[in-house]
Chain A
Amino acid sequence: MSATANQPSNSNSQLSGERLLELYQTMVLSRHLDERVWLLNRQGKAAIAASAQGHEAAQLACIEATDPSKDHYLIYYRQFAAMMALGTEPEEMLRGFLAKTDDPMSGARQFPLHGAHPRVDLFNFSNVIATQLPQAAGVALADKLKGSDAVTVVFFGDGASSQGDTHEAMNFAGIHKLPVIFFCENNRYAISVPLEKQMGVESVASRAVGYGFPGVQVDGTDVGAVYEVTNVAIERARAGDGPTLIEASVERLLPHTTDDDHTRYRSSEDIVQMLNRDPIRILAELLKRRGQLTDSGDEEIHALAKKRVNLATDTVDAEPYPSVESMFDHVIDSSGGHS
Chain B
Amino acid sequence: MTERTVIEAVRATIQAEMRRDSSVIVLGEDVGIRGGVFLATDGLIDEFGEDRVIDTPLAESSICGIALGAAVNGMRPIAEIQFADFVWPAINQLVGEASKVRYGTNGVKTAPMTVRVPYGGGVRGGLYHSQSIEVLFAHTPGLSVVAPATPFDAKGLLATAIRTNDPVIFLEHKRTYRLVKGDVPDADYTIPIGKAEIKRPGTDLTIIAYGLMLHYALQAADMAAANGISVEVLDLRTLRPLDEDAIVESVSRTGKALIVQEDTLSVSISSEVAAIIGERCFFDLDGPITRLGPPEIPPMPFSPIQEAAFMPSPDKILAAITKLAEI
Residues of A within 8 A of B (CB): 72, 74, 105-107, 109-110, 114-116, 118, 123, 125-126, 128, 131, 133-143, 145-146, 164-165, 168-169, 171-172, 175, 329-333, 336-339
Contacts and interface: CB of A to CB of B under 8 A. Distances in A.
A245 B165 CA distance: 33
Interface string B85-107: 00001001100110011111111
Contacts of A330: 102-103, 105-107
A28 B153 CA distance: 60
Nearest to B144: A332
Contacts of B104: 106, 109-110, 114-115, 125-126
Contact of B70 (A106, A107, A125, A142): A142
A80 B65 CA distance: 24
Contact of A123 (B62, B72, B75): B72
A115 B297 CA distance: 41
B115 interface: no
B100 A126 contact: yes
A139 B69 contact: yes
B290 interface: no
A142 B164 contact: no
Interface of B: 21, 25, 51-52, 56-57, 59, 61-62, 64-77, 89, 92-93, 96-97, 100-110, 112, 141-142, 144, 160, 163-166, 190, 192
B142 A139 contact: no
Contacts of B67: 138
Contacts of A164: 61, 89
A135 B66 contact: yes
A164 B90 CA distance: 11
Nearest to B69: A138
Contacts of A138: 65-73, 77
B166 A131 contact: no
B239 to A, nearest CB: 15
A135 B165 contact: no
Closest 4 CB pairs of A and B: A138-B69, A134-B65, A168-B62, A107-B106
A332 B96 contact: no
B69 A172 contact: no
A286 B113 CA distance: 49
B65 A137 contact: yes
A135 B74 CA distance: 13
Nearest to A144: B51
B61 A165 contact: yes
A interface SS class = mixed
Contacts of B92: 128, 131
B69 A134 contact: yes
A126 B97 contact: yes
Contacts of B57: 168, 171-172, 175
A138 B62 CA distance: 9
Given A142-B74, A329-B106, A338 B144 contact: no
Given A128-B97, A134-B62, A137-B66, A123 B109 contact: yes
A331 B102 CA distance: 6
B66 A172 contact: yes
Given A139-B70, A139-B73, A141-B66, A171 B59 contact: yes
Nearest to A163: B61
A135 B97 CA distance: 10
A126 B164 CA distance: 23
Contact of A141 (B69, B109, B112, B141): B69
Nearest to A115: B105
Nearest to B76: A339
A139 B61 contact: no
Nearest to A172: B62
A115 B103 CA distance: 9
A104 to B, nearest CB: 8
Given A106-B104, A331-B141, A339 B66 contact: no
A177 to B, nearest CB: 13
Nearest to A114: B104
Contact of B106 (A109, A125, A146, A168): A109
Given A126-B96, A168-B57, A339 B105 contact: no
B92 to A, nearest CB: 6
Contacts of B72: 123, 135, 138-139
Given A138-B71, A145-B75, A339 B21 contact: yes
A123 B105 contact: yes
